[in-house]
Amino acid sequence: MPDSLPVDSVGVVTPQTYHFETPIELACGHALERYDLVVETYGKLNADRSNAVLICHALSGHHHAAGYHSMEDRKPGWWDTCIGPGKPVDTNRFFVVSLNNLGGCHGSTGPSSNNPATGKPYGPDFPVITVSDWVKSQALLADRLGIECWAAVVGGSLGGMQALQWSLDYPDRLNHSVAVASSPRLTAQNIAFNEVARQAITSDQEFHQGRYHDFNTLPRRGLMLARMVGHITYLSDASMGEKFGRELRDQAYKFGYDAEFQVESYLRYQGERFSESFDANTYLLMTRALDYFDPSYEFGGDLSKALAKARCEFLVLSFSTDWRFTPARSEEMVNAMIAARRKVSYAEIDAPWGHDAFLIPTPRYTAIFTAYMDRVAREVGA
C-alpha cells in the first residue's frame, strides 16, 4: 500500500457482519439454523434505493472486492480494477455490495465456523451449498439492506453464474445481470479439473475426512496442489510463456526434481500461500457448487426454457484466451438468451491472460464495462 490512497480507490473499508437468525433451507435438503454473512459496501445508497449493485465472487474470492483494509495493506480488494470512483462499477454513482458467500472461509458461516450443535467447527458436516442457495442468501441480505431491486448483479466466473441464477430465481429483483468469463454449466473437462483438486485435498494425510481442525492440523499439501492445478487453468499458455518461458532459477540444469524452472517455483509459492489462507473444506464446497450449477437441468438441458422467466437485461463478456470458460461457453448462454428473446449484449474481448483476464483492466474490457454500467446508472438516475 502506498503512503496515500489512489484517487480512484474506494479507500479504507471495514467489513460488517450480518447475523441471520431465521433458518435458511438449502437445496441439499438441510437447513442452516443461523448464519453470518460478512459484507463490504462502497458508495452511497440513493434515496429511492435503486442504485445498488451486487458483486458476486468466484471460487476463491470473498467480500473484500475493492479498497484497502488498512494503510498497511499490500494489495487492494480482488476486483479493485473495476470497482471505485470513475471505474466501470462507479462508486460515485452506485451503492456496491460485496459479500463472502455462505460456505466461505473469510468470516461468513462456513465449514470452519463453529457448529452450534457441537461447539466445534462444522468441517465435513457443513452442508453442500449450491449457487441457488447463495442467491437465496444474497436476497435475504438485500432484504436486510432494504434493497428491493438491484440495478445490477455482477460477477466473474463462478460469480457470473450467480448473476445468471439471480435472473431466474428473483426475476423482478434485478434490472441487469452481468456475467463475465462465465459459463452456463461446467464441461466434463471443468469437472475433471475440480476432481483432481478435490482428490489432492482429500488424499492429504492431514485431511482426516475433513476433521483436520480436531487434529489441530491442516491439509496444506493437498490444498497447495489443488491451487496449483487450478491456477494453471486460470492462465493461458501464452501468458505463462510470456511470464516464465523456460527460465531457470539458476544457470543450468541440476538433474534433479526440485523446482528448477521459474514456473515451478511460482506455482509452489502461489499454492503454499493459498494453503495458509484458505480452508480446504470450503475449497471442496466451492468446486462442488461449480460442478452442480446447471440451471437448464430441470428443463431437460434447454437453458432457453429456464430463461423464459428472466426479466432483466444481460451483459455477457468472454475473453479470447480463456480456456477454463471459453468464449463458446459464454456464447451458449447468449444463444439461449436470444432463443428466449431476452435482451442480451455480448462481446468477446481479445486478451492474452486466459481466465484471469476478467480481473485485468484492458482498454476494450474497461470501455465496454464502463459503457454498459453507465447506462445501468442512467436508468436509475444515478
Partner 1 sequence: MRADLEIIQQWVKPGHHVLDLGCGDGTLLDFLKRERNASGFGLEINPDHITTCMNRGVSVIEQNLDTQGLDNFEDNSFDIVLMTQALQAVRRPDKVLDEMLRLGGEGIVTFPNFAHWRLRWGLALIGRMPESDALPYKWYNTPNIRLCTFKDFEALCRQKGIRIKSRRVVDGQHQNSWLARFWPNLLGEIAIYRITRENSNDE
Residues with catalytic function = 157, 322, 355
Judged by CB under 8 A, does residue 308 bind partner 1?
A: no
Count of residues near partner 1 by CB under 8 A = 21
- Scanning residues 80 to 119, which ones bind partner 1 (CB under 8 A)? none
Stretch that binds partner 1, among 52-60, 274-282, 291-299, 363-371 (CB under 8 A): 363-371
Give the one residue of 52, 315, 357, 359 binding partner 1; rule: CB under 8 A.
Answer: 315
| Cβ pair 186, 290 in contact under 8 A | yes
Query: CB 195 → partner 1: shortest distance, Å?
Result: 31
Judged by CB under 8 A, does residue 364 bind partner 1?
A: yes
Query: CB 238 → partner 1: shortest distance, Å?
Result: 21
Q: Strand 35-42 to strand 95-99: parallel, antiparallel, or no bridges (unpaired)?
A: antiparallel
Query: CB 236 → partner 1: shortest distance, Å?
Result: 20
Does an H or E element contain 265, and which? helix 262-277
Amino acid at residue number 147: I
Judged by CB under 8 A, does residue 179 bind partner 1?
A: no
Residues 80, 136: Cα–Cα separation, whole Å: 26
What mask, x for binding partner 1 by CB under 8 A, covers residues 319 to 358? ------------x--xx--xx-x-xxxxxx----------
Torsion, Cα of 29, 34, 36, 42 (10° steps): 80
Query: CB 375 → partner 1: shortest distance, Å?
Result: 5
Specify the residue, 34 or 341, whose C-beta has the smaller distance to partner 1. Answer: 341
| Cβ pair 161, 131 in contact under 8 A | yes
Place of cell 457441537: 118
Judged by CB under 8 A, does residue 375 bind partner 1?
A: yes
Nearest in space to 349 (alpha carbons), one of 204, 156, 205? 156
Specify the residue, 185 or 342, whose C-beta has the smaller distance to partner 1. Answer: 342
Query: CB 367 → partner 1: shortest distance, Å?
Result: 5
Query: CB 378 → partner 1: shortest distance, Å?
Result: 9
Residues 316, 338: Cα–Cα separation, whole Å: 12
Query: CB 187 → partner 1: shortest distance, Å?
Result: 18
- Scanning residues 53 to 72, which ones bind partner 1 (CB under 8 A)? none
Specify the residue, 71 or 371, whose C-beta has the smaller distance to partner 1. Answer: 371
CA 312 from chain center: how many Å?
A: 21
Stretch that binds partner 1, among 12-20, 24-32, 123-131, 369-377 (CB under 8 A): 369-377
User: In this structure, what are the phi and psi dihedrals at residue 153, rounded to the nearest 5 degrees?
Assistant: -110, 125
CA atoms lying within 13 Å on the CB side of residue 295: 28
Supply 122's cell numbers.
462444522
Amino acid at residue number 164: L
Give the one residue of 8, 264, 272, 374 binding partner 1; rule: CB under 8 A.
Answer: 374
Place of cell 453442500: 128
Residues 32, 34: Cα–Cα separation, whole Å: 6
Stretch that binds partner 1, among 67-75, 139-147, 249-257, 370-378 (CB under 8 A): 370-378
CA 348 from chain center: how many Å?
A: 20
Judged by CB under 8 A, does residue 368 bind partner 1?
A: yes
Dihedral over Cα of 128, 133, 138, 140: its sign: negative
Binding site for partner 1 (CB under 8 A): 313, 315, 331, 334-335, 338-339, 341, 343-348, 364, 367-368, 371-372, 374-375
